[in-house]
Amino acid sequence: MSERHRRPYNDVTELVGWTPLVRLNRVVDDVRTPVYGKCEFMNPGGSVKDRIGRAIIEEAEEEGRLRPGGTVVEATSGNTGLALAMAASLKGYRCVFTLPDKMSVEKRKLLRAFGAEVVVTPSDVPPDHPDHYTNQAERLASEIPGAVLANQFYNGANPRAHYGTTGPELWQQTEGRITHFFAGAGTGGTLSGTGRYLKERNGKIQVVGVDPVGSVIAPFFRSGTMPEGSTYLVEGLGSDKIPGTLDLGVVDDYVTVTDAQAFRMTRRLTREEGLFVGGSAGLIVHAAVERARELDDPDALVVAILCDWGERYLSKVFDEDWLAEKGIHLDDGEDDGSGVDDGAGAQSAGARA
């Protein structure tokens, strides 16, 4: 860590990784168990997904599927698209991304700023519907000459990137003292790749998945049967299906968090810790702090992934009018557990990663 930035880099993708690990002090509310946040928003593209953008593109090149002048197509909630666009900009590839309509306007503008073409899709359709953002991406990839589908939900380069970087970083940064790792799953790459590496180093480490209420992953993990998903507002985590890159075999537990709980913690992280993060980070940290409270063990060490930068949610989590419109009240004590009301605009469980 102390040697970072002491030499020039060849390009921006070399800046990805070795994000800081920061202890949380105020949002833990005097819990004795130490909780740390892995600051993935400090990657150059502002999210944990930066780790997989270059890896996916380089693997496609090595396999001969992506050639000069080609096009990268992907279904994304914004962050993976931005990571792919950042890496593709260095190589001159065209990017076309499908993005569910409930994703923030900031994400759409960011993608277009990098030169990507954005196809906005409805988020209130089931995963087998032709208008679902994953199905539209598959169609576009088949129709555009020289195009490849990044396919983050089923691409093995995704968890391998985390196995090779995120896991080793956490092991070194905690000097092997990490006892609990908390992450969500949009595609499952972070949770699976990092969790697998940590488990190989110490089988006693607990790998805990965190899901929004309404996603099918946590219920499937607990019961082995596929439930029906419902709407929620947190972006980037959870799913209406089980992604192929998610290895539930490395996961010890799965917990659920409501939108209100996630957004309350998101805003606390900014105002009390100076960590400007998105709603998915609040969701993960809420679960990590609750588990730390249960552990009540100063010798344990809990790590939570802080997924992305808060600026891309100024029109949502940090906007009082938007929260009121969605029925989220953050100053009235504990929420009722529903997470969202039944009003229009709640995000489909299918709009992820």
Domains parsed from the chain with CATH numbers: 12-47+159-325 (3.40.50.1100), 50-149 (3.40.50.1100)
* pLDDT tens-digit map of 8-40: 999 999 999 999 999 999 999 999 999 999 999
Helix (H, G, I), strand (E, B) or coil at 190: helix
Q: What is the pLDDT of residues 237-272, one digit of tens each?
A: 998 889 999 999 999 999 999 999 999 999 999 999
Tell me the pLDDT tens digit for each residue of 78-107: 899 999 999 999 999 999 999 988 888 998
Residue 291 identity: R
Tokens 């020039």, residue located: 8
Phi/psi for 216 (5° steps) reads -95, -10
pLDDT at 333: 46
Cα distance between residue 182 and residue 254, in whole Å: 9
**What amino acid is encoded at 69 in this protein?**
G
Name the CA dihedral angle for 300, 255, 157, 47, rounded to a multiple of 10 degrees: -80
Q: Mean pLDDT throughout 147-166?
A: 96
pLDDT confidence of residue 6: 83
pLDDT of 350 above 70: no
What is the structure's pLDDT at 231? Answer: 87
Report residue 345's pLDDT band, with 50, 70 and 90 as the boundaries.
very low
Catalytic residues: 49
Mean pLDDT of the chain: 91
How many Å apart are CA 1 and CA 173, to the nearest integer?
9
Structure tokens given for 83: 């990571």
**Residues 101-140: pLDDT tens digits?**
888 899 899 999 999 999 999 988 888 899 999 999 999 9
Task: Return the bridge partners of 305, or none.
Answer: 38
CA distance 52 to 257: 26
* Residue 6, SS3 per DSSP: coil
Model confidence at 228, pLDDT cuts 50, 70, 90, reads confident
DSSP SS3 for 235? coil
What was the pLDDT predicted at 113?
A: 94
pLDDT at 2: 55
